[in-house]
Structures are given as structure tokens and as C-alpha cells.
Amino acid sequence: MLRVAVVGSGPSGVYAAQTLVQQREVPGVRVDVLDRLPAPYGLVRYGVAPDHEKIKSLSGSLRSVLEDDRIRFLGNVEVGGPALSTARLLELYHAVVYCVGAARDRPLGIPGEELDGVHSATAFVSWYSGHPDAGAFDLTGVRAAVVVGAGNVAVDVTRILARGAPELEPTDMPDAALGALSGSGVRTVSMVARRGPSQARFTTKELRELGALAGVEALVVPAELATDPAYADGGAAAALPAVARRNVEVLRGWAQAAPDPGAARRVTLRFYLRPVEVLGGPDGRVRAVRFERTAPDGAGGVFGTGVYEDLDAQLVLRSVGYLGVPLEGLPFDPVRGTVPHAAGRVLRAGRASVGEYVAGWIKRGPTGVIGTNRPCAKETASSLLQDAGALARRELPGDPLEALRAAGLRPVEWPGWLAIEAAEGELGRSLGRRSVKIPDWAGLRGAAGLT
Ligand code: NAP
């Protein structure tokens, strides 16, 4: 038997586990999927926006993998913490595949970023997704919000801020977040990109959805669109990647739409503005963000023009990408925020380390959609399977689950997770809603039967 630990139960971890047990070349592979949280599914549970039901429903296919007899889910197990080092984990298994994602947000690196009211989009997403480590957001007094960045996460947080109560209520958002968002006084959300519409990173489906929210007027500044050579000139647009071409066409539609004076909220996409400072009021809270206008340099980049514009905001969310976090005992490339690897094999001092692998965002950086993790995990799994002969020669000390318990860990197994799911259904029913997330450690552990 080849015993493998997969660390992280998000899409890359589950796809890695699936590939390992469903292949035919190496028989008898058994996989334990470990997660720091008592609940599985990683960013599908704690990152995909709660109003994106179709993407959320991917958890159904992840579930059927984790229910395979050859796979065990062991939640509530922190690898790299005091009870379980990465070195010890490698003693307990023939191989370990790290699929720990990219947990940190990138900072802007500008003055004023530490002011009250300035947060990472990651923190905001964690809050409305019910992540047990998330802090609380108080939206009292927030009328205008600025979101910095033009990726799909920026679109997610902009949309959630702009949505009304009727659309948020059917989600599994924790009750406190639902109350704060649906009762908020947010009237304008500006999503601000430092480059032009044809360089924006969001996808067209997400952009269209943002333009079609009930009671929300979607706006652009025509002069900013016209600054983009690909917007102004059809010939230049033809050379763009298809997604950028479609985005530009959607924004053209926004620019041509009739005004909607009755809209309850406004979402404005701004372009060619790079953040230079967050401005605070006498109370130490953010009051505006100062941007420098940029201009295209003809090669996809921009340069500063020395012209500045302040956008009022009582809430600022920076959404400029995720960054991997180093894991105790594993090599780390601080610039890329990833673990160095060759085809998924962890590289230590440039040489492949026997038995240690990576997949997902910690391997390739925070890019791509959920499906991108499938080929990524397959590549890693096939490297591991090529090494299987050498790996399986090592005698293991016994069932790793016993060793984890002996180290003082209290793993939440699959029935524990099912109990959490049932408790969330019950909580939803008691609130007159559908299933509602339990947003704290004590609640999750209690529901799983750990007292
Ligand atoms: P992203 O796609 O990399 O976008 C980051 C954005 O931040 C870019 O617009 C970038 O602009 C901007 N940026 C970076 N540094 C900046 C700075 N110093 N000042 C101003 N702007 C700055 O990252 P993401 O939105 O976090 O998304 C991560 C991944 O998850 C992506 O692959 C995304 O598609 C995926 N995702 C998908 C969905 C979905 O499918 N619905 C939802 C959420 C996330 P430049 O281009 O100028 O660098």
C-alpha cells in the first residue's frame, strides 16, 4: 500500500487525491486529505462568492471524491503547527502533497494603508463566507466604497457590496454578515483599475453580471474608455485576446446605456488610476483614496501623468491578488509566493525532494479558475506515481490517524463534517433561511462532536 497525505481539501487537493486513487498503474494507493479547518472544500466553501450558486455546487463533485473508500477526510489538523511538523508528517506517510493555496493578500504598499476602514478583499470575502478566522466588518456609516483592482475577486466584492437584501438572503452567508450587508447604507462602489479596459483581469461573464444587478446602475467614464487604444480603434481591438475584446464590448454597452436616476446604488468602473495614498480624517478613519492618472505606454503598461484624483470612501478594499504563505519546513520563493518545484516535485536547493509535492496555487501562484487545478493536480500526481516504487519501500510506523491523535490532535472525520453540514441546515431553518454557515471555531468543533 502507498499511503499519501494531501494537505488542503480545496479543489487542487481533492483533484490530487482523486487522480491518485483512480489511476491503474500503481495499485493500493490510500489518501488522507488533511485540512486545518473542520470543514472541507477550501476556497469553494470559503472563497467562491455565496451568490454564485452554480460554482458553489462544485462542492457536490468534490464531496463524491472525499466519500471514496480509499480516501479519508481529516479536518481540524494543522500541518506546520506545534503538534505536527512537516517533517513528522513525512514520517507518517510515504508521500505528502501540499495543496495549501495562497492564504495572504498582496498589500498596496502605499501610505495610509493601515487606516481604519482599509481592508483586504480577502478579509472581506472571509467574513461574508463565514471563515472561522475572519474578523467582523461594521458597515455603519459607509456610503461610498472603493475597491482597488480589476480581477474577479474585485468584481465579487463589488457585487456583494452592491446587492440588495432579496438577493443575499437565499445564500448561506452567516447571519451577522447578511444583516450588515443587507442593511448597509452603501450607495456607490467604485472599482478602480490602474490600466485600461483591455488589460482588466476579470472575465466577461462576471462583468456582465455586475452590469445586470437589480436596482444598480453600472457606470463607466467614457473618456477613460476612450484612452484605451483598443477601445478607440477597432483594428487594435482585433488583436486582443477574446476575453479582453468581449470585456471592451460590454463596457461599450455600459457607456451607451441610458441613465437610471431611480437606481438605489451605483457601481462605477474606473480605469487608468493607480492608488498612491489613502487619506484619513481626524478620527483616523479613511476618508478618500488618492489616485494618480495613468496613460497607456503602447506596450500594455502605463505611466504616471502627475495628475491626481481623490475618490471619497469610508471603506476601501484592496483586491490586488493573493500571495502564498511559507509553510514551516518547506522551501519558499518569497517573490512568487510559491514553493519551488519541478513538475510538482518540491525542490530543495534545486534538487527534487523525495516524497514531497505541491499542487494548486502554492505550486503555480494564484491564477486560473477552479478547473485549472485539475491538470495542475494531475501533473503532480503523475510525478508522485512515477516515484511510487522508491517511496513504497519505506516501512511506516502504523495508521497515521493514531499518530495524529497521539500528538494531541483531534481530527474531524467525514461523519463529523456531515454533522456540521446538518447543524448548518438546522441553523438555516431556525432563521427562516436555507442552510447558513457556522462562522466560528467553537461552533464548528461543537457541531462536529468535539467538546
Ligand atoms: P487577479 O486576477 O490577479 O487581479 C489582480 C488585479 O489587481 C489586477 O487588476 C491587477 O492589475 C491589480 N493590481 C495588482 N497590483 C496592483 C497595485 N499595486 N495597484 C493597483 N492594482 C493592482 O487576482 P484576483 O482578482 O485576486 O483573482 C485571483 C484568481 O482567482 C484569478 O485567476 C481569478 O480569475 C480567480 N477568481 C475567479 C472567480 C470566478 O471565476 N468567478 C472569482 C474569484 C477569483 P494589473 O493587471 O495592472 O497588474
**3-state SS record for 276-306:** EEEEECCCCEEEEEEEEEEEECCCCCEEEEE
- Report the pLDDT value the prediction gives residue 232, as an integer from 0 to 100: 83
160 and 262 in a common domain: yes
- Report the pLDDT value the prediction gives residue 235, as an integer from 0 to 100: 78
- Report the pLDDT value the prediction gives residue 423, as an integer from 0 to 100: 98
* Atom from ligand 1 closest to the CA of residue 154: 25
For the Cβ of 157 lying below 6 angstroms from any atom of ligand 1, the answer is no
CA distances from 284 to 145, 196, 287 (A): 17, 32, 9
Range of the domain at 276: 106-318
pTM of the model: 0.96
Specify the long-range contacts of residues 208-212, CB closer than 8 Å, at least 24 apart.
208/250, 209/155, 209/159, 210/155, 210/158, 210/159, 210/162, 210/267, 211/250, 211/253, 211/254
For the Cβ of 153 lying below 6 angstroms from any atom of ligand 1, the answer is yes
Query: Average pLDDT in the 305-318 region?
Result: 98
367 and 241 in a common domain: no
Compute CA 197 distance to the chain's CA centroid, rounded to the nearest angstrom: 23
Cell readout for 87 is 517533517
User: Is the pLDDT confidence value at 234 over 80?
Assistant: no
State the Cα–Cα distance between residues 345 and 43, nearest whole angstrom: 23
254 and 171 in a common domain: yes
User: Is the pLDDT confidence value at 349 over 80?
Assistant: yes
- Report the pLDDT value the prediction gives residue 135, as an integer from 0 to 100: 96
Nearest CA to ligand 1 atom 18: 108
* Mutational pocket test of ligand 1: of 201, 277, 336, the residue with most ligand atoms within 8 Å of the beta carbon: 201
CATH number at residue 115: 3.50.50.60
**Confidence class of residue 239 from pLDDT cuts 50, 70 and 90?**
confident
CA of 441 to the centre of ligand 1 (A): 29
Q: What is the pLDDT of residues 63-113, one digit of tens each?
A: 999 999 999 999 999 999 999 999 999 999 999 999 999 989 999 999 999
State the Cα–Cα distance between residues 272 and 104, nearest whole angstrom: 26
377 and 301 in a common domain: no
Nearest CA to ligand 1 atom 21: 149
Which of 286, 318, 350 lies at the terminal end of a domain, its last residue? Answer: 318
For the Cβ of 199 lying below 6 angstroms from any atom of ligand 1, the answer is yes
- pLDDT cut 70: percent of the chain above it: 100
Q: Which residue reads 477613460 in cell numbers?
A: 224
CA distances from 450 to 39, 402, 411, 447 (A): 13, 17, 9, 7
Residue 69's φ and ψ, nearest 5 degrees, are -60, -25
User: Is the pLDDT confidence value at 238 over 90?
Assistant: no
274 and 140 in a common domain: yes
CA dihedral of residues 398, 404, 410, 415 (deg, nearest 10): -40
For 114, residues 6+ apart whose C-beta sits below 8 A from its C-beta are: none
- Report the pLDDT value the prediction gives residue 202, as an integer from 0 to 100: 98
State the Cα–Cα distance between residues 432 and 411, nearest whole angstrom: 32
CA distances from 351 to 52, 338, 346, 362, 387 (A): 42, 16, 8, 18, 14
142 and 92 in a common domain: no
Q: How many residues does the chain have?
A: 451
349 and 218 in a common domain: no
361 and 308 in a common domain: no
Question: CB neighbours (10 Å) of residue 37?
Answer: 22
In the 8-state DSSP scheme, what is residue 354? E
For the Cβ of 94 lying below 6 angstroms from any atom of ligand 1, the answer is no
User: Is the pLDDT confidence value at 444 over 90?
Assistant: yes
**Confidence class of residue 259 from pLDDT cuts 50, 70 and 90?**
very high
CATH number at residue 353: 3.40.50.720
Instruction: Count how many Cα atoms sit within 13 Å of the Cα of residue 215 in the half-sphere of its side chain.
Output: 12
Which of 318, 336, 368 lies at the terminal end of a domain, its last residue? Answer: 318
CA of 229 to the centre of ligand 1 (A): 22
158 and 93 in a common domain: no
Q: What is the pLDDT of residues 4-20, one digit of tens each?
A: 999 999 999 999 999 99
CA of 251 to the centre of ligand 1 (A): 18
CA of 427 to the centre of ligand 1 (A): 34
* Atom from ligand 1 closest to the CA of residue 368: 32
264 and 195 in a common domain: yes
- Report the pLDDT value the prediction gives residue 231, as an integer from 0 to 100: 87
117 and 161 in a common domain: yes
